[in-house]
Homo-oligomer: A and B are copies of this chain.
Amino acid sequence: MKQNRRKFIINTGIIGGTILTSGLNTNTFSKNISIIKKNSNMKLTFKPYTLELKHVFTLASSSRTTTPVVLTQIEYEGITGYGEASMPPYLGESQESASKFLSKVNLSQFKDPFELESILEYVDGIDEFNPAAKASVDIALHDLVGKLIGKPWHKIWGFNKDKTPYTSFTIGIDTNEIVKQKVKEAEEYKILKVKLGRENDKEMINTIRSVTDKPIIVDVNQGWKDKFFALDMINWLSEKNVKLVEQPMPKTMVDDMTWLTEKSMLPTFGDEAVQRIPDVIKAYGVYSGINIKLMKCTGLREAHKMLTLTKSLGMQVMLGCMTETSCGISAVSQLAPETQWADLDGNLLIKNDPFIGTKVVDGKITLTKSPGIGLTKI
């Protein structure tokens, strides 16, 4: 039954969150455009899309070769803004839940897409959770408004596009020989990311160190349950040119995490512990920094606020992502000039990216000058 519904959605193509459906021939399309101009209303449409991964993606608990996403569009006065919800299965959203959420979004009640604050407050209030589905509206709306302004968001926000950081590139857990091979293939990248929290953590780092001295950031994904063990590991890692440790302990172990951050030689970053604005306040004093991801925090508007908040609190910021298209990556990278760390390799891991946008050039996040989120549809 679920499969049938999904097939139905895919076969009918873009489905209207409001009534408009993009027709399949030019005549219908032109007719719709004229209706849009007359009403000057925003029209949200969306379609499920399946990302095909270049390599099998392995987490502690599962492996997969695809990531389900939903691609959104908001059209207004002949201009189209693009958005995306990326939903790795373990995070609790799906193409079905996102489609259900997006069907409820009625943007025709707003006459002006510039009222981002009111519109996104309304979208956030439609239902609880659904952060990726909400982000897909937020991103499309930002792309639209940026295009209406005629500037990319990093410029509207007053950032200097040359100040972007290098992105890290994840080296997946594998046999020693394959890990060495992967490190060689990642020659372009200046910073490597490694997932730890298993039995063979030290072996993994030593294997990488046998072929390169590049800085490493590690993501423990809550894997260390004992604070003394965690501190020993961090002390050891700090001598191996590791630069930071992401989510070393379970997010619920707040007191132990506070103790660890105080003692740690390396900055600690909250990831699973920090979804949205209230979590930033809770992370103050517990972590040295936070990982901001659009699919966790409902999009660019909240991400920009979290960046301001985090910097005001004297904490560090890393930008993160899921496996996603260049749409999500180009959106979040608009914030990159004001962040120290970027882990934005999500679009590099897929075979069927429908967009061209932010690129990695010599390991550095490189923004385009195109307006909105800086995207071109292939």
Contacts and interface: CB of A to CB of B under 8 A. Distances in A.
Interface stretch (A79-87, A207-215, A261-269, A307-315): A307-315
Given A280-B312, A308-B305, A308-B308, A156 B158 contact: no
A335 to B, nearest CB: 12
Nearest to A110: B160
Q: Tell me the number of copies of this protein.
A: 2
A219 interface: no
A348 interface: no
Contact of A158 (B114, B160, B309, B312): B114
Interface of A: 114-118, 145, 149-151, 155-160, 163, 277-278, 280-281, 301, 305, 308-309, 312-313, 337-338
A163 B301 CA distance: 19
A296 to B, nearest CB: 16
Contacts of A308: 305, 308-309
13 contacts: A115-B158, A115-B159, A117-B159, A117-B160, A145-B158, A149-B149, A149-B156, A277-B312, A278-B312, A281-B312, A305-B308, A305-B312, A309-B312
A158 B301 contact: yes
Contacts of A278: 312
Contact of A338 (B117, B149, B163): B117
What is the interface of chain A mostly: helix, strand, loop, or mixed?
A: helix
Given A149-B149, A149-B151, A338-B117, A281 B158 contact: no
Nearest to A161: B115
Closest 9 CB pairs of A and B: A116-B158, A308-B308, A117-B158, A115-B160, A309-B312, A305-B308, A114-B155, A277-B312, A118-B160
A163 B119 CA distance: 13
A150 B312 CA distance: 30
Contacts of A118: 160, 163
Contacts of A149: 149-151, 156
